[in-house]
Structure 1
Amino acid sequence: MKLLRYGPRGQEKPGCLDAQGRVRALSAHVPDIAAAALLPDSIARLQALDIDSLPVVDGIPQDDLRLGACVGQVGKFICIGLNYADHAAESGLAVPPEPVIFSKWTSAITGPDDDILIPRGSVKTDWEVELGVVIGQGGAYIAESDAMAHVAGFCVINDVSEREYQIERAGTWDKGKGCDTFGPIGPWLVTRDEIADHDALRLWLEVDGHRYQDGSTATMVYKVPHLIAYCSRFMSLQPGDIISTGTPPGVGMGQKPQRYLAGGETMRLGIAGLGVQTQKVVNQG
């Protein structure tokens, strides 16, 4: 099932995508694609619905019908750094001996096709296509063998990053990761049962039609079950929390010469089976 949120910013309503690519309304069944609606029993109830009997929402999704972030009320936006060996190499860094965890602020979350705002004074705003894991059943000290039972589904994430803020300023990576609009999520949350092998998903990103990233989750260093178990040692995971699992090579920082985003450009990115995002880059005045 493909769950989504549609409508103007701040007024998004819950919905799902039918087999014809139309949005069907879910407001009569859940208040939002968030929190308790992502628990296993709730997902099962939604999957049991006759989708073709649900009200059709006017408009074409990602055209004249805006989609918001596919998860609402996100409590934690957890990110994993240097989780592809070839991306670590292009960054000039060693593969870490255990997962690198950092955060994106939830105020960075935006819709999959909303504009990306380059922060004032930024000269190194970069892109990162990533597989997002949405937690359904929460927990702490989750066993790796049980980890996938805690997953509601998967989604596309663009981990937009300001490299000067992240690397060259004092402090942690977080200040370069959580700027407003730096966390597009969606277009939809694809429930776990629809993804046959999350360890073999192709993911890619283009800027103005030029493909910079073209990789596969097969080359992730630390796989999804390990990441869930690992993160749950340091924090309890809650329904609706998101783990962004790292990016393959091809980021702007890794280009020779380095290449960063500029106002007026367009990013397009996607993951097989999870949909596509398109974002215009805008300079903040």
Structure 2
Amino acid sequence: MQKINLIDVGALDGFDLPWKRHQDKIGFALTFEPNEQPVFGEKIIKYNSAIWDYDGEGKFYIIGSIGQGSSLLEPNYEWVRENFDQIRKEGNIKFNDTWWERTVIKKTEMLKVKRLDTVLTEVNEKLQSEGKSPIRFHFLKSDTQSGEYYVLKGAESFLKNDCIGLEIEAFRYPMYKGVVIDTEVKKYLEDLGFEQIGWTGYMYSFHAACDYLFVKKNPKNTEEKVLIELVKSVYQPKGKDGIIKKASLYEKIHHRVDKLSHFLKKFV
């Protein structure tokens, strides 16, 4: 049976929905945690860096008491302050009114960052040095809390040559300094030959963010067509808008909080 080799940027501690419920469809997984060294398992590699558009170090902003909203980009307090009256009514007003206390920067840490293309080269070089076959990864899931465009820019070789689909979080408002908003991210992916087939609808504070599902518009062979259908079977876009990931809000939020708590323990 054909399986998806999955790259999960922002996995932290376990897979997100919907992959959490479809692990039988994952062949091999590449995830990212700040370990001292990469961990090569039988079916999963945990790599010791954050993913960005260059190789080096980046400042990581740890935000709020539980870390929800932590990012390699700084919160854009000025923009939110200037536009608060206009965006306050988007989504849950009571929740939006707590944004200020939830987004206080508690501390910063320097993280090792790498381009995804660099990591994929390093992974396959190590596998080949051990007499193992290189792995072709098929699908990218990225949830970096505002940095998806930078992840994509550091993964252009993968996107052009191997990727058949991806799920990304994107923002319609500049909630972080330097964030590239969703219309520009979508245009970038469309220019690389991907088409949007699903999304979650806008979520979270001010309904500022959502998750998008893209697949390769013109698969080059039967294998890629099969893989794309497998992706569709995992996400199951519904209705004319292609709604995906219709788990309860409680499950979405608490799964994310649990993952962030696990991640931040490494810095305490």
Shorter chain as denominator, the TM-score bin is: under 0.3
Identify which of structures 1 and 2 has the higher relative contact order when contacts are C-alpha pairs closer than 8 Å and 6+ apart: 1
- Give the TM-score normalised by structure 1: 0.26
Greater fraction of residues in strand: 1
Could you state the TM-score of these two structures normalised by the residue count of structure 2? 0.27
Structure with the bigger percentage of helix: 2
